[in-house]
Amino acid sequence: MTDQVTTQEVLTTADGVPLKISLKRAMRKKMITSLLLVTPLFLFILLTFLMPITDMLLRSVDNKIVGELLPRTIPLFSGWDENGQELPGEDIYRAMVEDIKEGAEAKTILRLGRRLNFERSGMSSLFRKSARTIKRIEQPDSYKAAMIKIDKRWGDINLWRLIKRERGSFTNSHFLSAIDRQSNDDGTIGPKPEYKQIYIKLFVRTMTLSLLITFMTVLLGYPISYLLATLPTKISNMLMILVLLPFWTSLLVRTTAWIALLQKEGVINDLMVAIGIISNDHRIVMIHNKTGTILAMTHILLPFMVLPLFSVMKTIPVSYMRAARSLGATRFTAFRRIYLPNSIPGIGAGGILVFILAIGYYITPELVGGVSGTFISNMIAYHIQGSLNWGLGAALGTLLLMLVLALYILYDKIVGIDNMKLG
């Protein structure tokens, strides 16, 4: 019996390359092309979004300055029991003198005082005073006595406990301050004094007013969007210009205009006095409070609600409402059972857009909000630009980011992010 050998022909392209290899090359080339097209967008997101957020997260826990400016003192703390009632030993005082001398010559010791001053007031002045007079200490009989002579605060055991607690490269003190907590002298964590508890109130106010502003934009934006979606296209396009007109005006100009409208001697109060609604002695205070913030921000953010709603409503067929009416439904029932459910994705899209924009606003609340109408973003801006406590500002920003992500996840669980549409 003769063996029959079965040969399988290998498919090739016109140039003789096996088809399998040619397909792999084509897929690899397509993948490389796709990556090259996405690279500019990825680099843009990396430079403008991911890197700043990463830097903020790191600054919220960064504490390298204490270890860098006290290189001789910090290692010696491992042999000192801060839970006892005895001050550090002579070796720690001597190391502190040498570190302060070196920091005074390099003009870096004030950075250390400023950092520790965020934890305990008076630390900045202590290091500044010590840096001026520390040069007088030359081989004394007791470094401890010499430093306490310069300033009696060097004899306070709680000061040394603070320095030891903040000796690590990372710290949780910024996050504790961001939730109105602090590390006590005995090492426990407790609430700050009542007059210093401001951040939790600001977070609650930010969330409450942002939700109220979002509700106001839905209340005002829904009928506007419905009108734009149901009018003839020519008229609708003309009215859409009025919705987009605020985008052509500076945010600062719009906010300043609200100041002119809402102040006690402003246009609105003058008008109400002129028509007799209120007397001249009982003008309404509508500026530098929550009322000013709500009115100004509702006006500024209203287009961000109208546009998503309009784009969704424009896709709802008119025949749906006609069919419901022909089946016996009243106009209100047809709207409630047919039109409103179909417009929910637009409400979701506009709501989450307005809410996220609202909690991050700080220019408008700063100008019209006064004491009772400012947001947590105003305090973040203050610490970044004013007090230069970047760690606390970064911690507040991180908590705000986590809060937004938590609410976003909650929104996805309840409403479903797939139900959010822009048309």
pLDDT tens, position by position, 23-35: 888 888 889 988 8
Structure tokens given for 68: 């860098």
Question: pLDDT confidence of 4, banded at 50, 70, 90?
Answer: very low
Indicate the Cα dihedral angle 145, 149, 151, 157, nearest 10°: 30
The vertex-150 CA angle with 147 and 152, nearest 5°, equals 80
* pLDDT at residue number 3: 46
Distance separating alpha carbons of residues 26 and 361, to the nearest angstrom: 49
Q: Which own/partner contact pairs does 149-156 have at CB distance under 8 Å and 24+ positions apart? A: 151/126, 153/122, 153/126, 154/93, 154/126, 154/130, 155/87
Taking all residues of the chain, what is their mean pLDDT, rounded to a whole number? 87
Do 213 and 358 form a contact (C-beta atoms < 8 A)? yes
Average pLDDT of the segment spanning 255-262: 90
Is residue 206's pLDDT more than 60?
Answer: yes
Q: Which own/partner contact pairs does 82-85 have at CB distance under 8 Å and 24+ positions apart? A: 82/157, 82/160, 82/161, 82/164, 82/165, 82/187, 83/186, 83/187, 85/157
Question: pLDDT confidence of 225, banded at 50, 70, 90?
Answer: very high
Higher pLDDT, 421 or 214: 214
Q: State the pTM of this model.
A: 0.83
Do 324 and 334 form a contact (C-beta atoms < 8 A)? yes
C-beta neighbour count of 374 within 10 angstroms: 22
Q: How many whole angstroms from its chain centre is CA 26? A: 45
